[in-house]
Every structure is written in C-alpha cells, then in structure tokens.
Amino acid sequence: MVAVTLTEMRAAETSALAAGWTEERLLDLAGERLGHALGRFFPTPGTLVGYLGKGHNAGDTLVALRVLRNQFGWKIAVRNAYPIEDCAPLTRRKWQELGLDAPLDGPPAWRDVVAPLVLLDGLLGSGSSGQLREPLRSLAGEMEWLRQHAAARVAAVDLPSGIDADTGVSFPGSVTADITFMIGNAKSGLLAGHAANATGVLALVPVEVLAASGTGDMALIAPQTLAWAKSPRPFDFHKGMAGRVAVLAGSERYPGAAVLAATGALRGGAGLITLHVPTQAAAVIAAKCPPEIIVRSYVSPRELWESECDAWVVGCGIGAVDAATADGLLDFIAHSAVPAVIDADALNLIAHSGRIGMLAERHVITPHPGEFRRLAPDLTGLTREMAARAFSERVPATLLLKGCRTLVTRSGHPLWCNATGNPGMASGGQGDLLAGVIGARLANGDAPLEAAALAAWLCGRSAEISLNQPHISAESLAPSDVASHLGGAFLDWQSARR
C-alpha cells in the first residue's frame, strides 16, 4: 500500500462515513488500535502523559490512554492546551469516559514518576498547517525539554504536531517524536528522509475502513500491509528446504565482518551456511565463528564458481585485494547464476571497474551513502529518494540504500521505506549482519526485492527490541545484540504486531 496525501486520507474518511460509520466509531477504533500499538512498542509499563489539543486527535489520545491504563497497567495523566469545555464534543466525551480527576497543571514530576516516561503528542492532527501557536508551542517545548533532560520518549499520534503531512516540512517549535504512529495509512510526507528527525521511527496503526489507495510511488515496509514470510514452516521442514547460503567475506584486517555476515545468515533462517574466507585469514575467522558455520578457505574466487548453494553473500570485509583477486571476484559476480547480495568492498570494486552493467535481476546491492556515491557520482546532488529512483532505472538489480530511512526499490516498483530501527544502529558491522539476513531470505526463496525489504525491517525491529532490555542503550547497542533478538523480530512480522 503506497503512502497517501492528506486529500486521499480525507476521501477515505468521507467514504467510511458514507458507508455508515460514525465519527465516534472511527475515533474509538483508531484510539483502541493506537493504545494496543503503544503497549506493544513500549512493553514495560510506566507513566504516560497525553498532551492534548482540542480536536479529534486529542480524542484518539484519550481513548489510547484508557487502553494503556486498563489493559497494560500504565499510570496515566493529561496535559491540556485548552480547558476541557473548549474541546470538540467527541473529545469532551472521551475525557468523561476516561474518568480522570483533573489535568496536570504543570509538567509531570519526572523524578518521581514510574519509568519509562512516555509523552503522547495529541496536540494537532494531520489537517493542521503552519507553525505551532500558543499555547501549543509551549507544550511542544515542554515535551522537548523532558525528552532532552528527563529521558522521556515522545510518541506522536498520526504525525508530530507542527509537521506538514504532505511535504514532511517541520516548522520551528514543532514536536520532535521518537516514534510516530500513523493512523490508517502511511502519510507521504512523513516517509521523506528530511522528515526523519521529526518523526523518529514510523509505525502503522491499521484501521481497515480507512485504508486508502495512494497515487504516489512511496510505500512503507510494514507487516500490516505486506503478506509474504508469514506462513509457519511445515512440520517436516528440514535444513535443505531452508536453503544453503555461501558467504564470500572477510580478510586479515576485517575478520569480524565475515563472522557477522555468516551470523546474519544463521539467524535469518538459512539451513546451511558456508563461509569462504582467504587462506591467510581462515584460522582467526574460524576461531570467532559460531559452531554452526562451516568455514572454508580459498586462494582465488575462481575456485568458488562451482560451489553448490541457493544464495551468495559477497564482499563484507574483504578489504583491498590484488588485481588478480579483484578480476576473479568481478567475473564471479558477473557469471554466477545464483541470487546474490553484493555489499561493501565488492561494490567498491564494481564502481572502480566501471562494470555496473554486470548487475542483474538476481542481485541485491546494499550500499551505504559513501558506496552509493562511488557507484553513481552524478546523482550526488539529488535527494536520497530521487537518487534511488534514478539509479534503479539504470540497472535491474534490487537497490537497498542504507540510512535512517533505508530505501528498497527496483525498476518498475514503488520506493519502499523501512519503518524500523533506531540511532543505536550507527555502529560498524550492522550492514554485514543485514547482508547475511538478506542472503538467508534469498536462499529461502524470497524474491530479491522482498528479501531486501524484509531483512531491513527485521534488523531494525530487532534493534528496537534490544533497546527494551534494561541493560542495553542506544550507545551500547552492538550488531551481536541485534543478531540475538532477530527471533523476536520474526515473530512480530509474522503476527503484524509492530
């Protein structure tokens, strides 16, 4: 499902009302779904404070607060921008149903509340425009102070107040969210890379009656709208059915990259993983590998042409290689008919050789921004979205362009934006792990586009789950943490609970 504009979202709401839905039924359903989504994303109950305007966005917030208190055990409170009697009639009714004695008359006493402290931004909905005015601006500033100084997390209802839903432009004084729960549909402006610092990670709250068909070409990678990789394995499933992944990676200088790529394939569901490493690095890499990984050495990549496997992962940590090895590797990529993930130094070799034309439909390429600039220096002045679209028209391979809004696309397909992840993933080795997970999905039989999209979502979701552990922070998060929580990410994808 592609992202929608505000006009398309309003048309969906009008259609729902014409079909017999009332505004209150829609608000109750959206608020209840929002409450459950919040409870799953923040699994440890703490204190949640709703920051309310006077429209229906505030009504959604009040319903969600009731769900979190009654079903998830959260302590709740409310900060009102306006007196209750000035709010929309439905919002007043939801306030009465919530049954709180009174709103807070000042910021929450953050030193004394039960942690975690989550602030729910219900100041304005998607129909608002322009800069925040008082008293909303002061409450947005209060949320930001608590976020900066009291470890509060800010969750936005539908969009952060003060950001334009269609363009993603954030005005001065707007709310900065750590996660944005988009109601019903992904909003086109919020998927843009320049909106990321305002929206944080993105979550989709499904409200089926409001599902709309957008006319753009950006879509959110989300289990609520994508159907593959949901079915359980047959009971008689065995390792041959899970697929064989061969990894060509590592060097004396970068042994860890090979280990992480192979670990990604292992945790991503492959049945058999063989790690091919240079002879001079074989001993040190084998010593670091999980026991489930088969480690074999090679002198030249040409030795590997006849290897039996269902998917290749090529390039992680191979470093600088001599001319003969480079030629052998490029010929291997060009002529092997097996689906392959091409990452890191293998991409640099392709860029340096000018042989971008070797990239084919069976390939998934996974550049970070620097590697992408080397592959397509003429696209440097474009936005990430424009550059990804332009590059995908040059080669038939699937492109996964890394970043805080990882983009996945190929020629003739929408530009998919990943919804998951966090700043803790800014550490070396995360991309190696991702490459291995993509390889596992290719070996399982996923199409390249689907394998790349799912792997990006899984690794990002695993990073989110990791930060729910009391001993892990964004600063301490390591690729090995992400690897250890991939199982939980798979479960969330299969159940569409994130």
pTM of the model: 0.97
- Match 């983009």 to its residue by tokens: 407
The CATH 3.40.50.10260 portion of the chain extends over 6-214
Q: How far is CA 228 from CA 206, 236, 445, in A?
A: 18, 20, 11
- Going by the DSSP 8-state scheme, the letter that residue 4 receives in this structure is B
Diameter over CA atoms, the chain: 78
- In angstroms, the CA 220 to CA 211 distance is 13
Token pair belonging to 382: 């474009």
pLDDT at 127 over 90: no
Beta bridge partners of 50: 78, 120
Q: From CA 178, how far away is CA 181, in angstroms rounded?
A: 10
Of all residues in the chain, the percent with pLDDT exceeding 70 is: 100
Integer Cα distance of 272 and 239 in angstroms: 7
Nearest alpha-carbon partner for 117 in 16, 58, 57, 48 = 48
Give mean pLDDT, residues 433-462.
98
The distance from CA 265 to its chain's CA centroid, rounded to whole angstroms, is 19
| Number of other CB atoms surrounding residue 394 within 10 Å | 15
Res. 129: pLDDT tops 90:
no
Q: What is the pLDDT of residues 16-25, one digit of tens each?
A: 999 999 999 9
The class level of CATH for 239-495 reads alpha beta
The fourth-level CATH superfamily of domain 6-214 is YjeF N-terminal domain (3.40.50.10260)
pLDDT of 1 over the 80 cut: no
- Residues 366-404 pLDDT 10s: 999 999 999 999 999 999 999 999 999 999 999 999 999
Given pLDDT bands bounded at 50, 70 and 90, which one contains residue 306?
confident
Q: How far apart are CA 491 and CA 479, in angstroms?
A: 19
Number of CB atoms found within 10 A of residue 488's CB: 17
With a cut of 80, say whether residue 117 has pLDDT above it: yes
Alpha helix ranges (H) inside 444-497: 448-467, 479-484, 486-495
The predicted pLDDT at position 130 comes to 85
Local structure of 37: helix, strand or coil: helix
What pLDDT sits at residue 177? 98
CB 118 within 8 A of CB 47: yes
pLDDT at 7 over 90: yes
Residues of the chain with CATH 3.40.1190.20: 239-495
| DSSP bridge partners of 170 | 163
Number of helices and strands in the chain (H, E)? 17, 16
Q: Over 80: is that where the pLDDT of 54 sits?
A: yes
Tokens encoding 95: 């306030």
Residue 184: the pLDDT is 96
Average pLDDT rounded to a whole number, residues 61-66: 98
Q: pLDDT-derived band of residue 457, with 50, 70 and 90 as boundaries?
A: very high
The type of residue at 7 is T
pLDDT at position 210 is 95
Confidence of residue 32 (pLDDT cuts 50, 70, 90): very high
Contacts of 3 by beta carbon, 8 Å cutoff, 6+ apart:
185, 186, 187, 188, 190, 191, 214, 216, 218, 219, 220
Say how far apart CA 93 and CA 56 lie, in whole Å.
Answer: 11
* pLDDT of 84 higher than 80: yes
**Among candidate residues 322, 296, 311, the one with its CA nearest the CA of residue 443:** 311
Q: What is the pLDDT of residue 305?
A: 86
Say if CB 158 and CB 121 are below 8 A apart: no
pLDDT, position 126: 86
Distance CA 311, CA 219 (A): 27
Quote the crossing angle between the two packed helices 448-467 and 486-495, to the nearest 10°: 110
With bands split at pLDDT 50, 70 and 90, how would you rate the model's confidence at 315? very high
Give the Cα separation of 221 and 2 in Å (integer): 10
Calculate mean pLDDT across residues 98-127.
95
Digit-coded pLDDT (tens) for 230-287: 999 999 999 999 999 999 999 999 999 999 999 999 999 999 999 999 999 999 999 9
DSSP letter for each residue of 401-435: E-STT-EEE-TTS-EEEE----GGG-STTHHHHHH
